[in-house]
Structure 1
Amino acid sequence: MVDDTKFLLLLLLLRSSSLCSGSELDIQCLKSIQQSVIDPRGTLKSSWNFSNGTNGFLCKFTGVECWHPDENRVLSLRLGNLGLEGPFPQGLQNCTSMSSLDLSSNNFSGPIPPDIARQMPYLTSLDLSYNSFSGSIPENISNMTYLNLLHLQDNQLSGPIPVEFNNLTRLTTFNVADNLLSGPVPLLLQKFDAYYFGGNQGLCGTPLDKCPRRRRWRIHIRLHRINDQSSIGAAIGFIVGFVVAFYFPHRFIFSKRLRAYVVRI
């Protein structure tokens, strides 16, 4: 509760300081997004008109929610299901007081920026679900210490879930289902239901099936068995040879330079 109060005070401080410069940054933020995404339906092109210039004009843009209707300071971006395409949008670091980003149900592709937490350090909600993002999940997300919701399901993300996610102690909603992830589920995330990890054949550990033993241990054990079998075979051969020599000592045949010699013992 104390941490939540501190967070709200911090956001209020950001909101109240440098309003003019902050508004200019937020305008630049949305301009960069509009220019960097592919917008087949023309939703952002038609709605995001920067020629107005009045106080709070950003707040009338599709998907934009402001801290106050008379201030051009972005609180959240809800751009889900707009048919947007291309790589991860650029310029989000200029929305300096944004706390929520929703890009779900679009056609974004490519990697999630490795420095995403530096761009948006105060996010409490991040929804990138139902896109085609690929590559690994950035461990940098673990630096979003205020994050309550993280949705990454239905993408093409691969590799492990970063163990650094154990630092996301505020998470109450988490979903990475239907990706290409592998490896064990980090300890902190084991409290979530198996449903939110489904569709990743390589994931294992609570709440999923146990992780298999490492293959190298199996190879090690197998080599020991082979060595043991070789030793046993050599011992048996020695014993058989000794018995034959003891009970049938009449003749042994040796060869030297392709000529046979008979030696009587």
Structure 2
Amino acid sequence: MQGYTKVQVVWLLLLMSSSSSWHSVHGGESDDVQCLKDLKQSLVDPKGTLESWVFTKHNIDGYICEFTGVECWHPDESRVLGLSLGNQGLEGPFPRGVELCGSMTTLDLSGNKLAGPLPERISDQLAYITYLDLSNNSFSGEIPAGIAKMTYLNTLALQHNQFDGRIPALGNLSRLVSFSVAENSLSGPVPDSLQRFPLANFTGNPRLCGPPIGKKCKKRFRLRIHVRPIRIHLRLRRINDASCIGAAAGFVVGFVVAFYFPHRFLFCRRLRPYIFHVCE
């Protein structure tokens, strides 16, 4: 290891540890070949861009490097460095199988007709991506918060889609130098970590607020109403107790009056006493 810097040693160790995954097979083919197969099958290709992707040369390493839009680390190795498939009229969802291109660092799918949500675990599928361009498509739903784990990202282009919801906090992307979400349907404040980018990178989202947009964000008030439970059964019990006491007291008073004054009943009307003789 003499002559190598510490950084170079680390990279060599990483390359050596991952070499087994680069050469793992699916019926005699590498992961990267299977990656391209899955991607081709998951997309509609009206222009025939992917017709050159013919998977017949199983015994020739590096033959996929001749495919349209495919860039390899080395022309004699079936290891995909990047995919450049912009403006090819491709249709369908976010393509399947990209996680099998384990050494891919760039992915350009801009200017197509791709639609639907992005994978929630996109950071696992594109772990080493430095350049991701999905602009000018019809992707929808929320921008996955997992993008914040794609710590190697230098460029993230999501403009001209149909994303909604809030922009996730991307404070972990310290290498990010190019970012745009213009012309979507995003709302809420721009995260602090992204406020360094120019206003043009956020335009076309009327419900975004905060710097650099210049529109104040409305404070969100939470109305909390505390409803005290009414214990009806306790009140009824008290009422019943009072009624019982009153009835008992009335019975006792009536009994005493009838016992000691058997011949008279006393009535009061407007505080004027009247005495009626019931019997002599």
Change (3 A) 1:160 1:10: farther
Deviating more after overlay: 202-211 vs 58-67: 202-211
- Tell me, what secondary structure is at the counterpart of 1:181? strand
Please state if 1:68 is matched with 2:74. yes
Pairwise CA distance, 1:115: 0.6
In the aligned structure 1, how far is the partner of 2:183 from the partner of 2:9? 36
Asked whether the equivalents of residues 169 and 188 of structure 1 are also in contact (C-alpha less than 8 Å), the reply is no
Pairwise CA distance, 1:188: 1.1
In the aligned structure 1, how far is the partner of 2:164 from the partner of 2:138? 12
Equivalent residue for 1:34?
A: 40
Please state if 1:104 is matched with 2:110. yes
Pairwise CA distance, 1:167: 1.3
Equivalent residue for 1:20?
A: 23
Q: Give deviations 1:135-171, integer Å, cap 9, x for gaps.
A: 00000011101111000000000011012x1111110
In the aligned structure 2, how far is the partner of 1:76 from the partner of 1:216? 47
Equivalent residue for 2:217?
A: 212
In the aligned structure 1, how far is the partner of 2:155 from the partner of 2:35? 23
In the aligned structure 1, how far is the partner of 2:163 from the partner of 2:7? 31
Asked whether the equivalents of residues 11 and 97 of structure 1 are also in contact (C-alpha less than 8 Å), the reply is no
In the aligned structure 2, how far is the partner of 1:6 from the partner of 1:205? 44
Change (3 A) 1:130 1:15: same
Give every structure 1 segment of 4 or more consecutive aligned residues whose post-TM-superposition deviation is greater than 6 Å: 2-7
TM normalised by structure 1 equals 0.75
Instruction: Flag structure 2 segments of 5+ consecutive residues without an equivalent.
Output: 225-280
Q: Please tell me the residue identity of whatever aligns with 1:69.
A: P
Change (3 A) 1:166 1:19: closer
- Tell me, what secondary structure is at the counterpart of 1:68? coil
Q: Give deviations 1:25-75, integer Å, cap 9, x for gaps.
A: 00100000010001111211x210101231210100000000000000000
Give the greater-gyration-radius structure (CA). 2
- Tell me, what secondary structure is at the counterpart of 1:27? helix
Aligned length: 216
Equivalent residue for 2:248?
A: none
In the aligned structure 2, how far is the partner of 1:121 from the partner of 1:154? 24
Pairwise CA distance, 1:182: 0.6
Change (3 A) 1:58 1:11: farther
Equivalent residue for 2:173?
A: 168
- Tell me, what secondary structure is at the counterpart of 1:199? coil
Q: Please tell me the residue identity of whatever aligns with 1:68.
A: H
Which of 156, 161, 183 lines up with 1:178 in the alignment?
A: 183
Q: Please tell me the residue identity of whatever aligns with 1:49.
A: V
Change (3 A) 1:7 1:169: farther
Change (3 A) 1:10 1:77: farther
Equivalent residue for 1:50?
A: 55
Asked whether the equivalents of residues 66 and 73 of structure 1 are also in contact (C-alpha less than 8 Å), the reply is yes
Change (3 A) 1:158 1:94: same
Change (3 A) 1:7 1:95: farther
Asked whether the equivalents of residues 158 and 180 of structure 2 are also in contact (C-alpha less than 8 Å), the reply is yes
Give 1:102-141 correspondences, 5 Å limit: 102-141=108-147
TM normalised by structure 2 equals 0.72
Give 1:221-232 correspondences, 5 Å limit: none
Instruction: Flag structure 1 segments of 5+ consecutive residues without an equivalent.
Output: 221-265
- Tell me, what secondary structure is at the counterpart of 2:171? helix
Q: Give deviations 1:62-112, integer Å, cap 9, x for gaps.
A: 000000000000000111111000111001111011111110000000001
Q: Quick one: percent identity of the two aligned structures? A: 54
Q: Please tell me the residue identity of whatever aligns with 2:43.
A: V
Change (3 A) 1:64 1:13: same
Which has more helix, going by share of residues?
A: 1
In the aligned structure 2, how far is the partner of 1:5 from the partner of 1:161? 36
Equivalent residue for 1:80?
A: 86
